[in-house]
Structure 1
Amino acid sequence: MSKHVLALEQFDRQQLQSFVDRAIELKSERKQGVRHEQLAGRTICLLFDKPSTRTRVSFEAAMYGLGGNVIFMSSKDSQLGRGEPLKDTARVLARYVDGIVVRTFGQEIVEELARYSDVPVINALTDLYHPCQILSDVMTVIEKKGALENLKIVWIGDGNNMANSWIEAAAIFGFSLTLACPQGFDPDEKVLARSKERATQSITLLRDPVEAIKDADVVNVDVWASMGQEDEQEERLELFQPYQLNRELLAKAKDDAVVLHCLPAHRGEEITEDVLEGPQSVAFDQAENKMHIHKALLDQFID
């Protein structure tokens, strides 16, 4: 198994399932008051180019919850913001810490850091992938719905990094995934092609959100403009309006369908207030599960 977590496609189903199972176990033990100290004396560095609330706090809480230590650095606090080569940063940090968690723009950044780092590098978000988030989403679905195989999972909106990692998850875990994205906002072509070759169930890309959501067990949405796309906000608001998850659209899914949103949510844009705060929304369970998945990954990868 790879010593880094860069994308879900690096792993097989058994490996990904083991991360989810371990997260569920750690979550249960935490609720029972069990104290975890297996990473006592270990330190990770959070190296973030992009701002964060949930990802930063959940990784910090996860590491502290395993008895370890955390050093946080934004790009403006490090030499990365002043042009130091990534390979130098990787080799130096690897002599100081036991793991590097990276939240950045280009996937090539985490890949180069991993190439030169002697300690694990974990992708906490790039413009191409969001692997840790999707593992926490899968964990949430399993908690709410049980086995994944017979579920229809739907993604509605932008074909962004979340969509790409959902596509990889569908191929690896073996569940059906339907995506509804506006023309010109599709998931990455290479990710989709590779995943379809690996998939045992259908991965379908549609334009019509009403057709996509029909009989869905799980409905997943995200913001229409991600970090770095703020200048496209107004254009996207108009183009994506038919993809808003509101009561009318959600009614096309199964009555017991659950709604996922990785947060932060723009109420009144990609999702309405009544849906996000409604009984089918599991967004806040999903947010909690980030911490438990991060614990499981740190427990597995930090030596």
Structure 2
Amino acid sequence: MYGLTPFSQDMDVDDEFYASLKRTGHYHELPANINKNELKQVIAGMDAVYTDTWVDMEFFTNPDYTEKKNAIVDLMEPYQIDKELMEDSSAMVMHDMPMHPGYEISQEIIDLHLDTILDEAENRRHAEKGLLVYLITGKFDW
């Protein structure tokens, strides 16, 4: 597994999780300054490519957040999952939704991988329901 993020919001970073992941030997962090051609080469050998929103949904249309949103988009734009990035890859593309088409992922790639994206969104919904059952009942006995 490879991980690449040139930017992470402080609240999203779980140092313990990443330390555990790195200890498995199956996680290799890519340099944040990797160029698009280098990234294309890495992706060409992948089975799956995953992306997530760059800007949290509650801030995306918030006028008070516009300057920070624009800075994040400028930083992340080279990493958009688009046709050019995926042209040498047969990997499935995943996104946990909700998404901002045209930002972290192009509409063309969404259309090509919509079945996988919707399956992942459905799986997320079931996982969230399971968590609610546990939080309400205190057990996973279902």
Q: Rate the CA distance shift 1:190–1:289 in 2: closer, same or farther, 3 A.
A: closer
Is the helix fraction higher in 1 or 2? Answer: 2
1:250 to 68, 78, 86: 86
Is the strand fraction higher in 1 or 2? Answer: 1
Q: Are the aligned partners of 1:223 and 1:265 in contact in 2 as well (CA < 8 Å)?
A: yes
TM-score by length of 2: 0.70
Count how many residue pairs are aligned between Structure 1 and Structure 2: 122
Q: Are the aligned partners of 1:225 and 1:236 in contact in 2 as well (CA < 8 Å)?
A: yes
Cα offset, 1:216, TM superposition = 0.7
- SS of residue in 2 equivalent to 1:282: helix
Higher relative contact order (CA 8 A, sep 6+): 2
- SS of residue in 1 equivalent to 2:112: coil
Query: Is 1:204 equivalent to 2:28 in the alignment?
Result: yes
1:274 to 86, 90, 108: 108
Cα offset, 1:228, TM superposition = 5.9
1:235 to 64, 71, 96: 71
Query: Is 1:221 equivalent to 2:57 in the alignment?
Result: no
Instruction: Please list, as runs of the form range in 1=range in 2, the aligned pairs for 1:155-194 lying within 5 A after superposition.
Output: 177-182=1-6, 184-185=7-8, 187-194=13-20
Deviation string, structure 1 residues 237-286 (Cα, Å, up to 9, x no partner): 10001000001101232x2x211111111111110111001147511111
Q: What code does the residue aligned with 2:28 have? A: T
> Counterpart in 2 of 1:288?
122
Deviation string, structure 1 residues 136-192 (Cα, Å, up to 9, x no partner): xxxxxxxxxxxxxxxxxxxxxxxxxxxxxxxxxxxxxxxxx101211x438543321
> Counterpart in 1 of 2:94?
260
> Which runs of no fewer than 5 residues in structure 2 stay unpaired?
none
> Which runs of no fewer than 5 residues in structure 1 stay unpaired?
1-176
State the alpha-carbon separation in 1 of the partners of residues 116 and 141 from structure 2.
30
Q: Rate the CA distance shift 1:202–1:276 in 2: closer, same or farther, 3 A.
A: same
Q: Rate the CA distance shift 1:251–1:280 in 2: closer, same or farther, 3 A.
A: farther
Query: Which portions of structure 1, spanning 4 or more consecutive aligned residues, are displaced by more than 4 angstroms?
Result: 227-230, 294-297
TM-score by length of 1: 0.35
